[in-house]
Structures are given as structure tokens and as C-alpha cells.
A and B are shown apart, each in its own frame.
Chain A
Amino acid sequence: MIDQVKKHHPELSANEIIIMLNEAQDEFSARTLLLEEATQFTTVANQRYYGLKDSILEVKSVDLTDDAGNATTIKRLQGRPKYRDLDNV
């Protein structure tokens, strides 16, 4: 990919081209929503907020595994709670 760009722009360094390709990938991913992924984490008692990875564009759904090991999809709250905490964010 870098070589192809260099044919048109030999004055650009490889790093400059890589940065441009990364920007193009970001835009392509955000506008097409082509890539989907799932990831897991474990909650901590008495903590409500958990940071999201920068690469996440849109959360589609969230499953919570209960004590019996059954995963169920939980509902998304419209808006947010009136009282919120600023820790762990």
C-alpha cells in the first residue's frame, strides 16, 4: 500500500503515508460500520463506570453473565441517571 502511494507522491515519507492510511482506515470504519467485535471484562463491586477502548465506535448490545453462568442481554437506559459519580471515568 505504501509503495502504491509513493508512486504518486515520492516526496512523502513512509511514516507520513502510514498516518494517512490510518486516517483513511478510521474514516472508512466509522462511515461503513464494517468491523464488529465482542470483548469481555469483569465488573468490580461498587463501581458503576468502566472506560471504553478508543477503537469502539458504537456499542450494539451488552450481555451480563449471572451467577449461574447464563448471559442475558441487558437494556440500554435512555439518557443517564440523575445522580452520577465522577470516579473511574
Chain B
Amino acid sequence: MSNNYSRVYNRSVKENVYWIERDSIGLAIYDPLASEINRFASLDSAKTVTLFYYKKADHFNTLDKAASAMDEQSELPVQFHQYLVDRAIQKGYEFKPEMIQMAPYFERKFEKGIKEGKMYANRGRISGMRQVRQTSY
């Protein structure tokens, strides 16, 4: 009986694979026909690997590390800088029991920034049709 599979997988082809484990990336050649212990062998020669990733913004230097710390700019787009200030103000009020009622106001502002940041990231700097990513706002 013939099957209707539109794609036939060749299970004997070696291919490069990667995986993430313990804050490291593993790179190997996957050989489905090899014994289990040799199935994920290391690459046999030096190769250039390009990683594409989401990252954290670079930290500001503290003043003991760099005198220029006062003038540093965040890597985040400029329209989101005020939300970082709001978060710092919120944290400051949380350390003062007599003024802790001020904290939720600034927390709400920061959360608004998070929502706008997700929308900005999802827009991907393109107009019209785009890939949709499921996001919780």
C-alpha cells in the first residue's frame, strides 16, 4: 500500500545539530546510524558558528568602575528609558515604610512600559504582514 506522505525523511543522513545545556551550547554531528555513544560526535574541524539571540541590555558601570558612568545611555530604545527610572523610584519607595503607598503608582508605570516594549518587539520594525508570536501582555 502506498502512503501519502508529502515528505520522506532520510534517516541515514548526518546533520549538524545544537542544543543548550548548563549555560552552554552543544554542537555536534548527528549520525543516526552510529552507535548511541558516537551518535553526537563533535565537529571534526574548526567552523564558524553564528548565534542569533535575545539579550539583556548592557549594564551601566557603577562609579567605582568608570567615572563616565553618569553619562552612559541605556541600550534600550530611548522611549523606554523613563520606565527604568520609574522602576528605580518604585524600588526606592519600597525601602521606605512611611512612603510605601507611592510604590504601586510607579510599578504600574513600569508595567505599562513592559507592555509597550513587548508590542515594540513584536512589531519587528516592519509594516504590513508579519510573523505572529503569542504573547501575554
Contact = CB atoms under 8 A, between A and B. Distances in A.
Interface of A: 1-2, 4-5, 8-9, 12, 14-15, 17-67, 71, 74-77, 79-84, 88-89
B69 A63 contact: no
B63 A58 contact: no
Contact of A8 (B40, B87, B92): B92
B8 to A, nearest CB: 17
Given A4-B85, A50-B25, A52-B23, A57 B53 contact: yes
Contacts of B10: none
A50 B43 CA distance: 12
Contacts of B44: 45-46
Contacts of A45: 42-46
A38 B121 CA distance: 16
Interface string B111-127: 00110011011000000
Nearest to A31: B114
Nearest to A66: B47
B11 interface: no
Interface of A is mostly: mixed
Interface of B: 15-28, 30, 36-37, 39-40, 42-64, 69-70, 74-77, 80-81, 83-85, 87-89, 91-93, 110, 113-114, 117-118, 120-121
Nearest to A60: B52
B10 to A, nearest CB: 14
A42 B43 CA distance: 11
Contacts of A64: 16, 27, 47-50
Contacts of B51: 38-41, 52, 56, 59, 62
A52 B59 contact: no
A33 B53 CA distance: 9
Contacts of A15: 62-64
